Homo-oligomer: A and B are copies of this chain.
Amino acid sequence: MTASETAAPKRVTRRRAQTRQRLLDAALEVFAEEGFGRSTVDQVCERAGYTRGAFYSNFTSLDELFLAMWEQRSGAMLDDLRDALDRLGDLETVSPDGALRAVLDAVPIDDAWYRVTAEFTAHALRNPSLRRVMAAREEAIHDTLLPLVEAALARAGRRVADRTGLGHALVAVHDGTSVQCLMEPDDEAVRQRREELFRHVVNAYSTAYSTQSEGALDE
């Protein structure tokens, strides 16, 4: 039921890939503006510069496109995160605080994407197969994020006690604070509170095992 096995492995030509991609990109914009439920095939096509013929030649339903789009974008975000973490991994001397900020910068708070995700989440709560998709993604996030977080904390003389607890906490805090930031886009204080909450959480889920732990996270 996943997007990778919807159809026979047909030859994907250049054109096909391009229009498909343009439809996916247009869909993100339209869904963000109108909401997925209120969006129509026509709107997506018009935005992408095609007609409905192109759509039905590439997808069978809006739901299918929604899933494909979400998987692509969330995969891309995960890749970005991975890259940022890899780049960070090289710098052995980075402080935990700097690492935190770097990670937060690597996962930008994009409001179009948030709206889409919120609806996708609600949609997934109604659809068991989508739920599995989301669960798999969350697991991937944990696998990507935790090793570096643990490494950064280790350099600060801290050890993570509850690995999965920390992973879930980070994701929850990210989701929860993202809304707040988007609701008050111009309020810098909200962003600072977000960062501080992250600091507290990282701190709470790790314990110092070396007394001269320089660079502790909290004040």
Interface residues of A (CB under 8 A from B): 33, 35-39, 111, 114-115, 118-119, 121-126, 131, 134-135, 162, 164-165, 168-169, 171-177, 179-180, 182-184, 190, 193-194, 196-197, 200-201, 203-205, 218
Q: A33-B126, A176-B176, A180-B172 are in contact. Are A200 and B193 (CB under 8 A)?
A: no
**A193 lies within 8 A of B168 (CB):** yes
**B175 lies within 8 A of A35 (CB):** no
User: Could you name 16 residue pairs across A and B whose Cβ atoms are closer than 8 Å?
Assistant: A33-B126, A35-B37, A36-B37, A111-B125, A115-B125, A115-B126, A118-B119, A121-B179, A162-B196, A165-B197, A168-B177, A168-B180, A172-B173, A175-B176, A197-B201, A203-B204
**B176 lies within 8 A of A171 (CB):** yes
Alpha-carbon distance between A171 and B175 when the two chains are bound, in angstroms: 11
A173, A176, A183, A190: which has the most chain B beta carbons within 10 Å? A176
Alpha-carbon distance between A196 and B168 when the two chains are bound, in angstroms: 11
Q: Which residue of B has the minimal Cβ distance to A117?
A: B122
Copies in the complex: 2
Alpha-carbon distance between A125 and B35 when the two chains are bound, in angstroms: 11
**A135 lies within 8 A of B200 (CB):** no
Alpha-carbon distance between A53 and B119 when the two chains are bound, in angstroms: 30
Residues of chain B within 8 A of A114, CB atoms compared: 122, 125
* Smallest CB separation, A132 vs chain B (Å): 10
* Smallest CB separation, A146 vs chain B (Å): 14
* Smallest CB separation, A121 vs chain B (Å): 6
Alpha-carbon distance between A150 and B71 when the two chains are bound, in angstroms: 43
Residues of chain B within 8 A of A171, CB atoms compared: 176, 180
